[in-house]
């Protein structure tokens, strides 16, 4: 079994042409990747299937539990085909039509069929991540006449953002429905929904998953101003949140993104919901073997703010140095985790009226105890994952090990801060089980003789209910 890289903050690596071979995927796992993201804005199902099969094959070979995340495209709005060498000049007029046409510097078309219905005079239309800015002058039938505020070269298939427009298209498009069916068939651990606007978008997706009989955790990607207006409801119904800074930085004012990121992380930490920070974390490593100092600081600050997970996108999907990007991120994470005390031991005032108050109290007590006795590990036995989520939210410095007979849970937990899983399915007495766990952890090198470790479980063990038992142990 390979040596495990023990970051508490987890790493997502996006798979693409630079990383979709078995050799590179293996190196990414061994370097510290916890989750592979498959971006369904690109690629065909056949290619995604090969990656899925390869990752699961590697998990078996290496004894790892690397997770798979399906990222749905959502209602991505794009420019249709345009002539080569098309350039827009500041101050000129440009017509944007919903009827497909070969675009030029006077008229282009868009894939979004509701554009003329959704926009109003004065609204901004941003193209290519905001490099081109248009302002709506007037709407006539299917055509929108705009003024070019900031021009430049325009190429085919570039993305369009409508930052001040309430987009009427559903968050789950026809393409997403098709891709979701593929994802459910392949039993992904996580699915990310793009351009979430309200809790209803997440509820709708969860209902479709439930109807399929599958269990997949749902990530809400926060990238629109509407989502920020409804953020409390979105956090409540989601299983995790992604701060998707790419489109968020175009849909909102760019200078607001750092504070939005901090607010979202804080809100997720308070709600015991995992939070992912994504986009351009080490963008320069697409071309260069080392990140910039600013990028390293960005990763470090995300960890210090309380992110559960940080994500690499094009760096591992298309970059020249995918493995080095992960290794660099690992070193930055480990530097913060070994030197910054403030990232640990986050306690909250629990709600006595909550039906889970007693369980929550026990879990928080375990983290307090681990701090007092300098425990090396907190061990939870769980089938649902509740104990793992709650332990992680309190950020103990002790390593969190989850023993479970639920194989699907083992890969799902790979996204959660500080948590590592072991498959364990014995229904023995409490004392026998704890003894077994101690030996397993010692054999794996996670504890040694004389180390303190804390165990949590449900009693009686064979009933597998909510955690109701805590025990402090000394490794023999």
| The pair of three-digit structure tokens given for residue 126, joined into one six-digit string | 């941003």
Is there a catalytic annotation at residue 221? yes
Q: Which of 10, 221, 395, 420 is catalytic?
A: 221
Q: Which of 54, 279, 332, 467 is catalytic?
A: 279
Is there a catalytic annotation at residue 420? no
Q: Which of 8, 10, 26, 37 is catalytic?
A: 37
463 DSSP assignment? G
Picking from 330, 335, 333, the residue whose alpha carbon sits closest to that of residue 316 is 330
Torsion angle, alpha carbons of 203, 40, 21, 319, to 10: -110
Q: Residue 42 in contact with residue 48, Cβ under 8 Å?
A: no
| The pair of three-digit structure tokens given for residue 78, joined into one six-digit string | 């794009």
254 DSSP assignment? G
Outline where 340-424 has alpha helix (H): 357-373, 386-393, 407-412
Q: How far apart are the first and last CA of the chain?
A: 23
Which phi and psi angles does 19 have, rounded to 5°?
-140, 10
Task: State the Cα–Cα distance between residues 427 and 400, nearest whole angstrom.
Answer: 21
Is there a catalytic annotation at residue 390? no
Q: Which residue has the tokens 């009686």?
A: 460
312 DSSP assignment? E
Angle, CA of 73, 76 and 77, to the nearest 5°: 165
Q: Residue 361 in contact with residue 355, Cβ under 8 Å?
A: no
Task: State the Cα–Cα distance between residues 216 and 322, nearest whole angstrom.
Answer: 27
Which phi and psi angles does 262 have, rounded to 5°?
-65, -40
| CA-to-CA separations, 33 to 4, 58, 225, in angstroms, rounded | 10, 12, 31
Q: Which residue has the tokens 């031991």?
A: 345
Is there a catalytic annotation at residue 37? yes
CB-CB neighbours of 207 under 10 Å: 10
In DSSP terms, 103 is beta-bridged to 82
Task: State the Cα–Cα distance between residues 46 and 12, nearest whole angstrom.
Answer: 22
- Which residues are known catalytic residues? 37, 78, 221, 279
């Amino acid at each position: 079994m390979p040596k495990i890289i023990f970051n508490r903050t987890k790493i997502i690596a996006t798979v693409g042409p630079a990383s979709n071979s078995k050799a590179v995927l293996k190196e990414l796992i061994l370097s510290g990747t916890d989750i592979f993201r498959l971006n369904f804005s690109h690629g065909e199902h056949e290619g995604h299937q090969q990656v899925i099969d390869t990752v699961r094959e590697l998990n078996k070979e290496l004894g790892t539990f690397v997770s798979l995340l399906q990222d749905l495209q959502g209602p991505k709005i794009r420019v249709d085909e345009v002539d080569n060498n098309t350039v827009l000049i500041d101050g000129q007029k440009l017509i944007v039509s919903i009827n497909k046409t070969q675009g030029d510097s006077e008229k282009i078309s868009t894939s979004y069929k509701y554009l003329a219905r959704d926009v109003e005079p004065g609204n901004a239309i941003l193209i290519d991540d905001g490099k081109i800015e248009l302002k709506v002058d007037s709407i006539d039938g299917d055509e929108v006449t705009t003024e070019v505020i900031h021009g430049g070269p325009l190429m085919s298939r570039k993305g369009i953002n409508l930052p001040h427009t309430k987009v009427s298209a559903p968050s789950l498009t026809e393409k997403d429905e098709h891709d979701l069916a593929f994802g459910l068939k392949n039993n992904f651990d996580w699915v990310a929904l793009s351009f979430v606007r309200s809790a209803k978008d997440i509820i709708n997706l969860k209902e479709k998953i439930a109807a399929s009989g599958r269990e997949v955790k749902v990530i809400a990607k926060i990238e629109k101003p509407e989502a920020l207006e409804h953020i409390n409801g979105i956090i409540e119904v989601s299983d995790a949140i992604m701060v998707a800074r790419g489109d968020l930085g175009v849909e909102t004012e760019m200078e607001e993104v750092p504070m939005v990121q901090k607010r979202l992380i804080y809100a997720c930490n308070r709600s015991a919901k995992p939070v992912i920070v994504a986009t351009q974390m080490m963008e320069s490593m697409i071309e260069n073997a080392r990140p910039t100092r600013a990028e390293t600081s960005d990763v470090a600050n995300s960890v210090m703010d309380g992110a559960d997970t940080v994500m690499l996108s094009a760096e591992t999907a298309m970059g020249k140095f995918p493995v080095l990007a992960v290794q660099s991120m690992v070193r930055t994470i480990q530097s913060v985790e070994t030197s910054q005390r403030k990232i640990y031991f986050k306690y909250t005032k629990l709600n006595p009226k909550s039906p889970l108050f007693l369980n929550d109290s026990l879990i928080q007590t375990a983290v307090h105890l681990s701090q007092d006795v300098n425990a090396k590990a907190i061990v939870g036995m769980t089938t649902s994952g509740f104990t793992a989520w709650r332990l992680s939210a309190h950020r103990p410095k002790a390593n969190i090990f989850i023993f479970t007979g639920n194989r699907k849970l083992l890969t799902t937990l790979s996204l959660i801060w500080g948590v590592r899983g072991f498959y364990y399915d014995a229904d023995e007495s409490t004392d026998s089980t704890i003894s077994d766990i101690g030996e397993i952890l010692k054999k794996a090198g996670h504890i040694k003789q004389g180390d303190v470790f804390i165990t949590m479980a449900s009693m009686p063990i064979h009933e597998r209910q909510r955690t109701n038992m805590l025990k402090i142990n000394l490794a023999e």
